[in-house]
Amino acid sequence: MIILDTRHTVVGKTDTSSNTIKYALAEVMNKPEVLRKVSATFAPGPPLLVPHCPSNTSNAAGYTIPKGALVFVNIWAIHRGPSIWDNPLEFYLERFLDGKWDYSGNNFCYFPFRSGQRICARISMAERMFMYSLASLVHSFEWNLPAGERMDLSEKFGIVLEKKMPLIAIPTPRLSNPSLYE
């Protein structure tokens, strides 16, 4: 995702993808039995999306949104809403397997790439980058925490959602021939 802040610097784009991969690896390491089932179901993107202003006063669900108001959409909360999700805080990949939760912007319970005119311009690239990177990491290495360490999955709030604690993981090669890593 690309976000321009008020100083017109680029502060997004690679962060969303790298954070997604980092979180996915951390979740998978924390629950090794799901390793076999890994799929693209992670998207810790911007928790409040990027604020936008309506160009006209409008009405949504009975609320008046004045022209020029700064509108934040709290997808962090929507994606954890207990009225939408069973055990929302549980890392449970199977909930996505029935194909009900597509993220093309048509479902207002699950839209990590936003919806409408300002939807992420590179969803297909993000999908490919994520799938390829995570698949390469888990295919090529076994991942373990340093001895005595516990996985800390707590979040740091920001423009994009980040892990509060850095992910420190020890890779052990899995491929039979070292030349395959070249």
3-state secondary structure the chain: CCCECCCCCECCCHHHHHHHHHHHHHHHHHCHHHHHHCCCCCCCCCCCCCCECCCCCEEECCEEECCCCCECCCHHHHCCCCCCCCCCCCCCHHHHCCCCCCCCCCCCCCCCCCCHHHCCCCHHHHHHHHHHHHHHHHHHEEEECCCCCCCCCCEECCCCCEECCCCCCEEEECCCCHHHHC
Query: Closest approach of Cβ 177 to ligand HEM, in Å?
Result: 32
Q: Which of 4, 69, 71, 125 binds ligand HEM (CB under 6 A)?
A: 125
Give me the least distance between CB of 32 and ligand HEM, in Å please. Answer: 23
**Identified binder of ligand HEM from the candidate list 25, 26, 120, 169, rule CB under 6 A:** 120
By the rule CB under 6 A, 163 interacts with ligand HEM = no
Shortest distance in whole angstroms from residue 74 CB to ligand HEM: 12
Judged by beta carbon, residue 137 or residue 145, the one nearer ligand HEM is 137
Is 20 a binder of ligand HEM (CB under 6 A)? yes
Residues contributing to the annotated binding site: 120
